[in-house]
Structure 1
Amino acid sequence: MNRKIALITGASRGLGKQMALHLSAQGIDIIGTYHSRADEAQRVAETIEQGGGRALMLALDVGDSSTFAAFAAQLSQGLKQTFGREGLDFLINNAGIGVRAAFAETREAQFDLLMNVQLKGPFFLTQALLPLLADQGRIVNVSSGLARFSLPGYAAYATMKGAVEVWTRYLAKELGPRGITANVLAPGAIETDFGGGAVRDNAELNAFVAANTALGRAGLPEDISAAVAMLLTDGGRWITGQRIEASGGMFL
């Protein structure tokens, strides 16, 4: 059987890890990237392989676009050696960082770091990988509920995510002739280690999120991975250029 292959950036932990495990359980082979946590990435790969799937983990600094050509060549080789394939089917631009700073106190270095990791990186990585992405493929870019609602301290972060949402519509338009869909998935507040694990570990913050969410709780990583899976399966084949918020109805 010709299994589909998904590339997930930032797959060693948090949402990316959960996406990798969930999609593997759905019969999709996984290529994951990690920044520096090779041991954690390898454990994810081992878990996938123990479940009967195939996985390949590759190092990548999404914030350094000068490395993307070499990464694409490494990915091409890995596809052939590990999966016997020339290309991949799904690209999930998930890797990211969180910087919390009031607008008046945001430093230029913080802004540039967010720009490189959250916007420039996905933009040019996707460009570099287009020759390896199969026709009829799918792209999912991860945004944030903060691009819709506003909370103090996230002006720069949310600005980058807002730009990702505009860029995604252009991807959908320009890649449509190849049958490739491109969509944004925007999580709300999720219980992960992102941002130091505040939503997961801070009871007061968790309660605040739950009180302002229609479904009455903070999100879980599996809520997001299930939404990604929906976009990659037949249920998402006629959805493109859309922003889909998976927040449980936060701040409606």
Structure 2
Amino acid sequence: MERENFSSRLGFILISAGCAIGLGNVWRFPFITGMYGGASFVLIYLFFLLILGLPIMVAEFSVGRASCRSAALSFDVLEPKGTKWHLYKYGAIAGNYILMMFYTTVAGWMLYYFYKMAVGDFAGLDAKGVGALFGSLLGDPLTMTFNMVLTVLVCFGVCLLGLQAGVEKITKTMMLCLLILMLALAANSMFLPGAEAGLKYYLYPDFNKVFEKGVSEVIFAAMGQAFFTLSLGIGALAIFGSYIAKERSLTGEAVFITILD
């Protein structure tokens, strides 16, 4: 059977960005930035995004395009005889499984929240009340399992439709909606009380806060965020790299995705 390819460059970029842009940006980045000194941390994070994140993304794309295989088989195809690069696949497969356990559980929480919002259970609740509702969810493994299984089944359904008709088509729509939503949230934040102080904290570096936390701790956090936010190190991006056309520049595609991130 002939291997499918993306129908457009936009489809590839958005689906790759969809892998990279997510909880690392919306959830982890704000609180870790607040923890490690605002703009000072942001500058260090951007530095590691440039010198570590971008080259490793290009490397993963290269492995995927050269082998036209996933992380499970790419090094079996590429490794020189007598070397053990193929052993990497076991860590990659395990990493992707663990990652999917995490994401399907969190996506299940989101389905539950969507249902609770639709029926009005959040109406009138303050932060403490919402926290109590989340606590009750964590204490109900049956509800969490149901929502996680529902998430898995929906994702299987999308994959069954194929690359172009399923994954690419649906990701294009969802990623554009996500980017619009993030822009709307950012614009709304500009007009909240205290927005000026928040912007100053985020954009004006004060490296005294880095020294207060400890330089090594902040650097380690920035490096970890660079890897987490781009989904690097587990071969996920190599899968997308296996669909990049030969005439495309791998560095150019990686730069575009990093900018979106």
TM-score normalised by L of structure 2? 0.24
Larger Cα Rg: Structure 1 or Structure 2? 2
The structure carrying a bigger helix percent of its residues is 2
TM-score normalised by L of structure 1? 0.24
The structure carrying a bigger strand percent of its residues is 1
Which of the pair has the greater relative contact order for Cα pairs under 8 Å at 6+ separation? 2
